[in-house]
Amino acid sequence: MKRAILLVLVLVGRASAEDAWQKDVSADDQKKAEALFAEGNELFARDSHAPALDKYKAAIALWDHPLIRFNIAVTEIRLDRILEAADDLEAALRFGQAPFTRELYQQATDYQKLIGGRVGYLEASCEQAGGSVLLDGKPWFKCADKQKRRVLAGEHVIVAEADGYMPVTRRIVLAGGKTVSQRLVLLPLERVEKLEYPSPRWLPWTVTGVGAATILGGVAFYFVGGAQMDTFDSNYARMCPMGCTDDPATRDRLLAEHDRALLKGRIGLAMEIGGVAIAGAGIVWIILNRPNRVMPISELVPTTGGASVRVSWRF
């Protein structure tokens, strides 16, 4: 690699005025760029890659020469800055083989193939004006727009969000050298909100209904018992005006009639009290059983060889 760096230095010095990458660059700027480039090469040879990169970038600011770009890319690879290296290799090879020797051009294309297996492209579009798109938790672009970005291969998360709309999440597994496109559609909250009740909605209403029916049943029993008690009073006054001590059979029949009427009245009263308690509990349950608004989660779940869409609700 040190030999490649020295070859590049020689080639920079041999650039001719006809070269496209030399147009509109003064001789003074070329000389300054070559001096910075040489300093960078010395630092690179001592494995001082970060300082060497600073020198190369200072040189490229004066003269955007493909071979300087190539050395920047190689240095960035050493620093594991793969995305920057991919961009700079692309810039270094923008004129094809012309600026390179055959050996250096082969090295450059080999590096490009190597990096190509570690990067890919994500493309996303969002049509909702006022929304925003985030990539791996960082702002990417504003909607409505469509953007494409080179990223490292692996798993990435794209999120689209806007006020009054349900956020959309996409989890993507990107293979090296591939491009994945996503169309992010934001739906209004009122179209996707779901009302979730703590208890089934019919249950407290059913309890209240049972309580009301029990009250009505108790009232019916109470009135039946009252009517029977009135009948007993009438029969007693008619059949035993002086008492029933001389007619045990009549006395026993009237006592049974009295007991039945009294029992029905007591049952009716108990049913009314119980019904009020049940209906009251049902009404309180209805009040407490207020719905919660829950939002569905829409995301692309990574799977082998692709992805599947999953929509669920968060509780």
Indicate whether 79 and 180 sit together in one domain: no
* Domain extent at residue 24: 2-116
Please tell me the distance from the alpha carbon of residue 53 to that of residue 5, in angstroms, as a whole number: 13
- Other C-beta atoms within 10 Å of 75: how many? 26
What does DSSP assign to residue 143?
A: S
Q: What is the predicted pLDDT for the residue at 14?
A: 46
Q: Which residues are CB-contacts of 145 (< 8 A; sequence separation ≥ 6)?
A: 125, 126
Indicate whether 140 and 171 sit together in one domain: yes
Tally of domains within the chain? 3
Does the structure show a pLDDT above 80 at 79? yes
CATH number (domain holding residue 66): 1.25.40.10
Tens digits of residue pLDDT in 183-223: 999 888 777 667 787 888 888 889 889 989 988 888 887 88
* Band (56; pLDDT cuts 50, 70, 90): very high
Tens digits of residue pLDDT in 226-285: 887 778 778 777 777 666 656 677 777 777 877 887 887 788 788 889 889 998 888 988
- For residue 71, give both structure tokens: 């050395």
Do residues 270 and 218 touch, judged by C-beta distance below 8 A? yes
Q: Which helix (H) or strand (E) holds 28?
A: helix 27-45
* Site of tokens 């009295």: 258
Does the structure show a pLDDT above 60 at 302? no
CATH number (domain holding residue 299): 2.60.40.10
Indicate whether 147 and 265 sit together in one domain: no
Indicate whether 111 and 247 sit together in one domain: no
- For residue 99, give both structure tokens: 């600026």
Indicate whether 104 and 202 sit together in one domain: no
Indicate whether 225 and 245 sit together in one domain: yes
Indicate whether 105 and 166 sit together in one domain: no
Q: How far is CA 220 from the centre of its chain?
A: 58
Indicate whether 13 and 151 sit together in one domain: no
Do residues 147 and 141 touch, judged by C-beta distance below 8 A? yes
Q: What is the predicted pLDDT for the residue at 272?
A: 84
Q: What is the predicted pLDDT for the residue at 195?
A: 73
Please tell me the distance from the alpha carbon of residue 55 to that of residue 304, in angstroms, as a whole number: 44
Q: What is the predicted pLDDT for the residue at 297?
A: 59
Tens digits of residue pLDDT in 118-135: 999 999 999 889 999 999
Domain boundary pick from 92, 116, 140 = 116
Q: Which long-range contacts (CB under 8 A, 24 or more apart) does 28-37 make?
A: 29/62, 29/63, 30/62, 30/63, 32/59, 32/62, 33/59, 33/60, 33/62, 33/63, 33/65, 33/68, 34/9, 34/59, 36/62, 37/9, 37/12, 37/68, 37/71
Q: What is the predicted pLDDT for the residue at 4?
A: 47
Indicate whether 106 and 10 sit together in one domain: yes
Stronger pLDDT, 199 or 312, i.e. the higher one: 199
Q: In what order do the strands lie in the sheet with 168-174?
A: 138-142, 132-135, 154-161, 168-174
Stronger pLDDT, 294 or 312, i.e. the higher one: 294
Global pTM?
0.59
Nearest alpha carbon to residue 114 among 150, 79, 149, 89: 89
Please tell me the distance from the alpha carbon of residue 311 to that of residue 315, in angstroms, as a whole number: 13
Please tell me the distance from the alpha carbon of residue 285 to that of residue 35, in angstroms, as a whole number: 83
Stronger pLDDT, 306 or 99, i.e. the higher one: 99
- SS3 readout for 193-262: CEEECCCCCHHHHHHHHHHHHHHHHHHHHHHHHHHHHHHHHHHHHHHCCCCCCCCHHHHHHHHHHHHHHH
Tens digits of residue pLDDT in 127-165: 889 999 999 999 999 999 999 999 999 999 999 999 988
Does the structure show a pLDDT above 70 at 1? no
Indicate whether 140 and 174 sit together in one domain: yes
Q: What angle do CA 244, 250, 255 make, to 5 degrees?
A: 85
